């Protein structure tokens, strides 16, 4: 039986899916169906194989987790629906799209329950549950459901392109923004949680803190898999289902992370990472509103970040996606991967805190204005040394790289515009010159980095725990 392989690297970790839960499996079958090199009957036959494997996973997990028992029956019912469609579609085409959409609705219900069951902190803190790799089996199940939904949507498109036609104009930019914001949010949240392991508090055992971090990382991987359903060809009636499922998982991340965040009150660097995670979640909410065509009157999202902050969020997110391709393939030590990892670190821990402080209305001075420009220039120079045509998985990585470079240029331009008055003042020399840079030495955390992070003020939050709206910050950007 396939289960996701866990990969780890200096800057990230995650799941690498295989078999029927992999992106490659789904994309290959859908491409063959669109090209006409596989019949609809054979395509639905492959889908039935996926569902049989899914039912087998739920059957095994239900022996140790009674909450999964209902999912066995659900999957068996969906299998029967696919069998009916497979038989009928060979004779008549009447209302085929409607029948396929009905199956998709049932699969979304199953995905929501499956994600809710696996995003359970009590189970993930149970050593027996983890030793049996039950959480990995459930991750595989989520992957199969996501692929099944995408495959059925593809089948409906091929069956009747007019009935499933979608205006994809705005989605061209929105979907990459969703993925980048989500990547930054999850990365910054997990990076901040690492500070809990370094905390000297004895109120919470180290083993408990490790269990919380493991749970948060697991939720993050489930969220990334669900996010694969953000597709410009997805019909509007299913878009809110993906949004609701993703938000449920992200709320679980927030709930578990809160338990350890109290330990970070004196850790300036971790607090700024939490601030970045919050900003990225706000940006994500706005992107999701656009994707599901939600009007401003209905939207509950907070005011979005300024141009510079948003561009930094997009830059980090797109770079992370390229980096994960290297990490997942076991090439985390590749020179390109190391360069990208250093650039992510500099933006996250050195550039963002200073930009955030400025936008909160704090006086930064000419030195900080020049320093941010210098760091952005260093990051840009290091990234320009990367040849996109030589990146791993070039077809998709080169596009993420291109978007990251555009986002970085946008952030630099916005910062120069916001601090124009400071940039005309000559930079004064700094007493302690050692700061994080994109050089190899940046991989080691220097004492001056820690001092910088602790001196920078953490962004104030409202009583509800939300970030202070940008309307109260400097509007010079």
| pLDDT tens digit sequence for 412-424 | 999 999 998 777 6
Same domain flag for 102 and 144: yes
pLDDT for 265: 84
Flag whether 106 is in a domain: yes
According to the model, what pLDDT value does residue 469 have? 41
Count of other CB atoms within 10 angstroms of residue 83: 14
Boundary of a domain, candidates 132, 165, 198: 165
Whole-angstrom distance, CA of residue 315 vs CA of residue 402: 10
Number of domains the chain is built from: 3
Residue 195 lies in a domain: yes
Q: For CA atoms 326, 332, 334, 340, give the dihedral sign.
A: positive
Whole-angstrom Cα distance, residue 334 to residue 392?
10
pLDDT for the residue numbered 366: 86
Task: Note whether 452 and 328 are same-domain residues.
Answer: yes
Position 370 scores a pLDDT of: 93
For residue 164, the model assigns a pLDDT of 59
**Structural domain includes residue 464:** yes
- Quote the domain boundaries for residue 339: 311-426+435-472
Tell me what percent of the chain is helix, strand and coil, each rounded to the nearest 5. Answer: 70, 0, 25
Dihedral angle, C-alpha 204, 210, 211, 212, nearest 10 °:
70
CB atoms within 10 A of CB 146: 26
pLDDT number for residue 259: 81
In a shared domain, residues 149 and 180: no
**Predicted pLDDT at 107:** 99
The domain boundary, picked from 254, 283, 301, lies at 301
pTM of the model: 0.88
- Residue 306 placed within a domain: no
Name residues of the chain where pLDDT drops below 50: 431, 433-437, 439-477
Asked if residue 220 and residue 367 are part of one domain, the reply reads: no
Give the residue from 335, 418, 338 showing the smallest Cα distance to 373: 418
Please check whether residue 212 is in contact with residue 256, taking contact to mean a CB–CB distance below 8 angstroms: yes
Give alpha helix (H) positions in 119-170: 121-124, 127-131, 134-159
Residue 125 is predicted with a pLDDT of 82
214 contacts 198 by C-beta, under 8 angstroms? no
- Do 328 and 272 lie in a common domain? no
Indicate if 206 and 338 belong to the same structural domain. Answer: no
What b/e readout covers 348-383, taking b as 16+ CB neighbours within 10 angstroms? Answer: bbbbbbbbbbbbbebebebebbbbbbebbebbbebb
Same domain, 126 and 239: no
Statement to judge: residues 236 and 194 lie in one domain: yes
Q: Is residue 477 part of a domain?
A: no
In-domain check, residue 240: yes
Q: Which residue bears the tokens 């998985």?
A: 393
Tell whether 260 and 377 lie within a shared domain: no
Q: Which residue has the tokens 């049989």?
A: 52
Tell me whether residue 259 is in a domain.
yes
Residue 42 has what pLDDT? 96
**154 and 55 within one domain:** yes
Residues 221 and 175 reside in one and the same domain = yes
- pLDDT of 452 reads 43
Which pLDDT score, from 0 to 100, does residue 456 have?
38
What is the per-residue burial (b if ≥16 Cβ within 10 Å, else e) of 295-324?
Answer: eeeeeebbebbbbbbbbbbbbbbbbbbbbb
Distance CA(62)–CA(90), nearest Å, equals 35
Note whether 9 and 140 are same-domain residues: yes
């Amino acid at each position: 039986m396939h289960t996701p392989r866990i990969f780890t690297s200096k800057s990230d970790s995650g799941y690498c899916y295989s078999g029927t839960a992999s992106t490659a499996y789904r994309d290959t079958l859908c491409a063959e169906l669109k090209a006409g090199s596989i019949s609809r009957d054979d395509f639905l036959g492959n889908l039935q194989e996926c569902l049989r494997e899914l039912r087998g996973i739920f059957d095994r997990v239900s022996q140790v987790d009674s909450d999964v028992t209902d999912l066995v029956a659900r999957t068996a019912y969906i299998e029967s629906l696919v069998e009916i469609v497979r038989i009928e579609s060979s004779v008549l085409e009447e209302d085929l799209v409607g029948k396929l959409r009905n199956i998709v609705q049932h699969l979304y219900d199953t995905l929501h329950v499956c994600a809710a069951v696996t995003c359970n902190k009590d189970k993930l803190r149970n050593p027996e549950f983890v030793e049996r790799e039950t959480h990995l089996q459930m991750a595989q199940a989520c992957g199969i459901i996501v692929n099944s939904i995408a495959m059925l949507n593809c089948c409906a498109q091929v069956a009747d392109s007019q009935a499933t036609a979608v205006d994809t104009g705005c989605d061209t930019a929105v979907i990459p923004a969703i993925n980048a914001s989500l990547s930054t949010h999850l990365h910054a949240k997990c990076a901040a949680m690492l500070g809990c392991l370094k905390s000297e508090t004895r109120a919470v055992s180290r083993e408990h803190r490790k269990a919380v971090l493991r749970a948060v990382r697991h939720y993050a991987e489930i969220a990334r898999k669900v996010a694969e359903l953000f597709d410009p060809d997805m019909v509007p009636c299913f878009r809110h289902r993906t949004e609701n499922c993703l938000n449920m998982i992200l709320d679980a991340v927030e709930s578990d992370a809160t338990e350890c965040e109290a330990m970070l009150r004196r850790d300036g660097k971790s607090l700024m990472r939490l601030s970045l995670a919050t900003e990225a979640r706000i940006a994500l909410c706005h992107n999701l509103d656009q994707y599901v065509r939600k009007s401003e009157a209905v939207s509950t999202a907070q005011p979005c970040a300024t141009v510079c902050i948003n561009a930094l969020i997009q830059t980090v997110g797109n770079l992370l996606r390229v980096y994960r391709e290297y990490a997942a393939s076991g090439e985390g030590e590749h020179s390109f991967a190391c360069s990208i990892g250093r650039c992510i670190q500099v933006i996250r821990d050195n550039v963002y805190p200073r930009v955030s402080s400025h936008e909160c209305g704090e006086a930064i001075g000419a030195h900080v204005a020049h320093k941010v420009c210098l760091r952005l220039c260093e990051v840009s120079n290091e990234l320009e040394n990367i040849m996109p045509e030589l990146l791993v998985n070039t077809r998709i990585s080169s596009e993420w790289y291109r978007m990251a470079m555009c986002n970085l240029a946008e952030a630099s331009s916005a910062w120069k515009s916001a601090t124009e008055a400071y940039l005309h003042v000559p930079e004064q020399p700094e007493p302690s010159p050692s700061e994080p840079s994109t050089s190899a030495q940046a991989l080691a955390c220097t004492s001056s980095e820690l001092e910088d992070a602790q001196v920078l003020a953490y962004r104030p939050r409202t009583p509800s725990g939300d970030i202070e709206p940008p309307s109260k910050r400097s509007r010079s950007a």
